[in-house]
Amino acid sequence: MTLQTRVGGRGPGPERHANAGPGPRGRQRRERIASTLLGRDDGPIRCPRLIRIGFDLTAGQDPLEILEALLFDAGCRTPEELRRAIPLPQRPYLCRPDTGPPPCSLGAPGAEVLRHGLILGLCTAQLYDPARPVLWTRGSLSRALELFDPEGFYA
């Protein structure tokens, strides 16, 4: 497809032709990005890692059942009630999958397990949002995530 425009957009003048199509294969490229701004604590662009969350599920445990039992033991009926009992980060953060060893065992003290579960319930795969409802699913509780503060990114 050829796009024709006039210089300045109006009136007489030379026409410019631009190739708006995909072009021959020789002009197409694929680049693999092998760096990230996430995790940088210094320099003009900062996006430090703040929190690692996730459960060690190597024993085949069901995180949803364990968290619901801990929730009941803590005297709460719903995960939303935990917001009053457990301090949480109050700003949105960026998330990405954590490939390291999971930071929390489901056999850890109940308050720590509930804190990880609460934060995971407020995360999507890319964003922690404290304003969103707490959603506990086996999928969301099976994630291991790193949370990053993007505040220094737009400095």
For the stretch 19-42, pLDDT in tens is 555 666 666 677 777 766 676 666
pLDDT at res. 28:
67
pLDDT at res. 147:
93
Cβ neighbours around 72 below 10 Å, total: 10
pLDDT in tens, 126-142: 999 999 999 999 999 99
DSSP annotation of 142: T
Structure confidence at residue 67 as a pLDDT band (50, 70, 90): very high
Q: Rounded to two decimals, what is the model's pTM?
A: 0.73
Structure confidence at residue 7 as a pLDDT band (50, 70, 90): very low
Distance of CA 107 to the CA centre of its chain: 25
pLDDT in tens, 70-122: 999 999 999 999 988 899 999 999 999 998 999 999 989 999 999 999 999 99
The DSSP line for 27-63 is G---------STT--SSSS---EEEEEEEE-TT---H
Note whether 146 and 95 are within 8 A (CB): yes
